[in-house]
A and B are shown apart, each in its own frame.
Chain A
Amino acid sequence: MRQSGPIADYLDALARELGFDIALSRRVCAEIEDHLLQATDGCLSIESQRQVVANFGDPRDIARQYMTAALLAHIRWVGLAMIGASAAIFLAMEARVVWYEVMQWKWNAEWEAVRAIGLAIDRCGFIVAVSIALIGWVYISTRRAPIRFHVTYSKELKRCIVLCGAAATGLIVSVTIETVLAGIRLFEMKWSSAALVPILSLVIEMAAAALLVLRIRAMMRRTAAVFSILGPAG
């Protein structure tokens, strides 16, 4: 446990300033605590601690310098989640189609038109989503964190979020239609335990899309928090 004193106060202030990213805050505070204690050279008098803290710099300035890299790291995770969600949804879809063929479950002719339209929208939505996800992934992975925030970097981050949002929208459209089509098919059939396979595949698709949406939402909140700290000048 940390003893009270200027070093502890400084670390508390730094943790508050880094509040936009709790994991980063923990890591940075642990690292800087080691630095500050090493700098005191074993002399933990109040005066010595004050001197060490003064040499280290303003916690607000230091926290701001972490923002660019921290946001980029998070947006990379969102990019990864976008690719992962696309892959999971694709595999679940394919598994369901294979299962239908194995079980020889046919469509009722009266729903054929609904199926044709649904599948066309579904395919279109999924292809658009995957294309945007791939473009987004390349765009995100080629970004570099600058020393300080500037307008171009803010625009790049916003562009990354828009690309992730567009890919997520495409995936949600696709999953929604898949759910409706599978629902119609299952509704028309006699209930059996074999229906658990398509249901499970739908749950996987929905979970993948939901996780992606949650990641994007967290990223948007984090970005908004950083922008509000930086103010309109960014």
Chain B
Amino acid sequence: MNPAGTIDPPEAAPAALDGFEGMPLRVKAVSKSFAGNRVLTDVSLEAVPGEIHLLIGPNGAGKSTLFNVMTGVHRADGGEVRLADARIDRLRTVQVARRGVSRTFQNLQLFSDLTVLENLLVAEHASRRRAVRRRSRDGQAMLRDLIDGLGLGAVADKRPADLSFGERRFVEIARALASRPRVLLMDEPAAGLSFGDRARLKEMLRQVRASGVTTVLVEHDMRFAMSLGDTATVLAAGRCIFQGTPADAQRSEEVRREYLG
């Protein structure tokens, strides 16, 4: 039985991605307003290495904004974000990225004039600047694993415009992983994916978790999220209304009211 209370078919322990490691991400009392509109109020969460931390809530709850604050796209009005013990909320996006925080975008932001492989290479290049203790394999092997693991082998030399929607989603995800992130922020990666693609994504995320990377997953698809998540933070109208296991989240009265009800 996994935390969501459903039974998954028995499977071998997922192979971990080599050379990855995670770092804790702590968000403390973050608030953000835009032109007088309060989008985030006093939001805190702690994402831990080797776990998938769900970030769920209705549309407009502030999830993407929180990602933007975490990655330096917006500056929080109050509160702080820490990667391990270092504050990152005052850093620019480029600096946050160089510290090992990777993300996917809800509305795909692929490099449209570069091939799939080139998209990954751009991200992989960034990771070379960090002093990440690599274990056995080198960057190319890692990219090979990512490409194969997400079924992109046949299209590695094509541009995003020539790909199917599912393939484009996977490129976005592969790119986020290509930089060997310590923290992986995923913004609705399963949206619009076919059943088969969803299974493949699930498998990849399990590998990521097994590697020790810290993952924060925003997801609308409850079944998908619950089957993967280890902890959940529920946002509604910019506030945290629940934190705990996914199973408890489903049972919580408040969450039901705000979101599922």
Same assembly = no
